[in-house]
Structure 1
């Protein structure tokens, strides 16, 4: 585990982070820092924007209703987004929030909602999804907020797919075999992971996926998992077998 500062408050900002150039805190951030955490002028916080690394900043109040973050020193260089595309059928509200947060924590670099036949939620709030991704990044020391994409239809997704990126398809009907062995048998290259809705994939969707040469079907064991649980399990197995959990 890298040695990070997990004690100081940590905020994502949109502005550039440059030494000594003040960045205005949003009203929500100011309320959190001043009224919830009871911080004041001169206290330290961490800030990141996904481009300029992580900076230790000093709080300053140039006016009664204004709070600035003044970058003093960059303590971590910027790291790129993980090249892992996470595809999921949207869930409803709180469970979708949970799944998005856990996907960010588990190293997804892109979050792509996919509208499958049995999808539970016909609409998805991209702003809310991004807010949950930012919150997870703030809390877990992540420097790059994943790309939160607009929903895409299942057929359109496959029609536009780059076959150079291998797609791992979690099928609840697949015979229970070791997912580690399945993943390690794949050719090297960029990866994507697809988790379906609570109702599972339709027979037509399942058949189309299985017919594609760039798709690997993976079992998540003998038990049927909820979609949000399956997301965490699948991402953990993937990172352990062929992702950034491997030693070296």
Structure 2
């Protein structure tokens, strides 16, 4: 994305896009662009749909109820979807975890129901909205897939069938404090998954189940016990900076 466009509003619009096309915004996006941001005819914004790249769009018509955009320039080619799988137990600050995972390059967002999870009801529409909001704010143009919640035990039992040779990184809060870098480096170049537990951590049975799997690599996140949302950001940053796309 050209840095000259960094100050422009960015909108995710889930329709096919091509250079020269005209797009009518829905009521909410019209309100946001015209009434909240005070944009008018002749102003620019950036639009994307997660499939066709990003476009510099000019506001061709701006009314209180309708905005029409003209796709004037292809500003970025579509980036390939990330292969990084991010699984987490839903927590109270789930919107934060989802937004940060999107910003940091997760390609799949998978809610996981564990024994100590406190939030068993997951509003997937809200989760998807969180991914879009983060993508709009941070110049991400590949929207992560949001999966239906799954219980931990079936997820692990069917891992090979559903995920092939993907390696799963398990942040074990009860492991001895150590640097995870040496543990992670042999996984470089492989498809990866990351699993983060709930506020109360994984149960003893769940930890044992994860440790038994040959596709699971256990790492420590240091000598301090981190909140679940902090652990997610720390682990994603660690993976991306050592064996990811940073």
TM over 0.5: yes
Quick check: 1:213 aligned with 2:211?
A: no
Quick check: 1:36 aligned with 2:42?
A: no
TM-score (norm 2): 0.95
Query: Unaligned regions of 5+ residues in structure 1, if any?
Result: none
Structure-1 separation of matches of 2:154 and 2:18: 41
How is 1:5-24 mapped onto 2 (pairs within 5 angstroms)?
Answer: 5-24=5-24
Structure-2 separation of matches of 1:184 and 1:59: 48
Structure-1 separation of matches of 2:175 and 2:4: 40
After superposition, the Cα gap between the structure-2 partners of 1:131 and 1:170, relative to the gap in structure 1 and judged at 3 Å, is same
Structure-2 separation of matches of 1:20 and 1:224: 53
After superposition, the Cα gap between the structure-2 partners of 1:141 and 1:63, relative to the gap in structure 1 and judged at 3 Å, is closer
3-state DSSP class of the match of 1:224?
coil
The residue number in structure 1 matching 2:119 is 121
TM-score (norm 1): 0.94
3-state DSSP class of the match of 1:56?
strand
| Shift >6 Å, 4+ stretches | none
CA RMSD of aligned residues (A): 1.5
User: By how many angstroms is 1:5 displaced?
Assistant: 2.2
The residue number in structure 2 matching 1:141 is 139
After superposition, the Cα gap between the structure-2 partners of 1:4 and 1:214, relative to the gap in structure 1 and judged at 3 Å, is farther
User: By how many angstroms is 1:108 displaced?
Assistant: 0.5
Aligned residues: 243
